[in-house]
Amino acid sequence: MVIRTAPGVALLYHDIVARERATESGIVTDGSWRYKLPPEIFRSHLERIDASSHQVVLASDTDAERPLLLTFDDGGVSCAETAAPLLESYGMRGNFFVVTGRLGDDGYMTEDHVRELAAAGHHVGSHTVTHANLREVSPSKRRAELVRSKEALESLLGTTCRSISIPGGFVDEDVLTDAFDAGYDYVFISEPRYLSLPVKGSPVGRWSVWHDTGADGIERILDRNLRTRLWVQGRWFTLKSIKRTIGQNRFERLRRPLVSRR
């Protein structure tokens, strides 16, 4: 798979929820709180972005000079109840990737929420049916996760589902090939690269936002601060190498006691 560069930045958010309510929205694991941002910090991000020269766009927009994509994974209920209203208050729209098999479950958006997001001008894409590790499942299971989630959203919204976010950053050549073969134009991954203006047939890198990422941190990412780039990308590639060496399951077992400490 050839990765083509293009100007722009994509930020990867998950739930917008207070720390003490982290278990009420989206995926809940020992360490999932690390990905969940308090609303007041998210608002500070939007204020800083609004004051910048970046243009907040949707996945299919390709003509902005300094495009910025705000993406939200998992489909937690906070996306509809908190993230979307805050975005709209600044005249912005987001890109929401939903786990179709969890729509209506506790802590997740309902089908009505998804329809309302689309009607309000937000972009809705797939995050598979079950949030599967597409790199480790069988080829037939992987294709089913890709195709059935796409079909579910197309049936729900009456429009073509053009984008997918790969769960957990578990991506390789086979995953990308199957995703594009399934009919997705834009495949979002978790690798922190400035490749983020969507280009058909090329994966879109994103910069993860953590529970304590402040507005200054967002500004450094947008400004392509060298120190921030080296730190974030170095950390990402180091963890990726460790996971590949010892295996994802063993990595999670070793990490669990550390991330569960609060």
Q: Rounded to two decimals, what is the model's pTM?
A: 0.87
Cα distance between residue 10 and residue 167, in whole Å:
16
Q: Per-residue DSSP letters for 129-162?
A: SS---TTTS-HHHHHHHHHHHHHHHHHHHSS---
Angle at which helices 39-50 and 215-222 pack, to 10 degrees?
Answer: 40
Model pLDDT, residue 191: 86
Model pLDDT, residue 237: 63
Residues 6+ apart with CB under 8 A from 252: none
Cα distance between residue 54 and residue 52, in whole Å:
5
Q: Which residues pair with 96 in a beta bridge?
A: 72, 124
Q: How confident is the model at residue 227 (pLDDT cuts 50, 70, 90)?
A: confident
- pLDDT single digits (tens) 69-83: 999 999 999 999 999
Q: How confident is the model at residue 30 (pLDDT cuts 50, 70, 90)?
A: confident
Query: For residue 3, is pLDDT > 80?
Result: no
List the single range of 13-27, 117-131, 204-218, 223-237 with lowest mean pLDDT: 223-237
User: Residues 121-131: what's their mean pLDDT?
Assistant: 98
Cα distance between residue 136 and residue 248, in whole Å:
10
Quick one: tokens of 243? 């996971």
Residue 35's nearest CA partner among 9, 11, 16, 10 is 16
Query: For residue 261, is pLDDT > 70?
Result: no
- Give the other-Cβ count within 10 Å of 235's Cβ: 11
Model pLDDT, residue 232: 67
Cα distance between residue 60 and residue 73, in whole Å:
17
Domain ranges in the chain?
9-224
Q: How confident is the model at residue 23 (pLDDT cuts 50, 70, 90)?
A: very high
Question: 9-224 has which CATH code?
Answer: 3.20.20.370
Model pLDDT, residue 177: 95
Q: Under DSSP, is residue 79 helix (H, G, I), strand (E, B) or coil?
A: helix
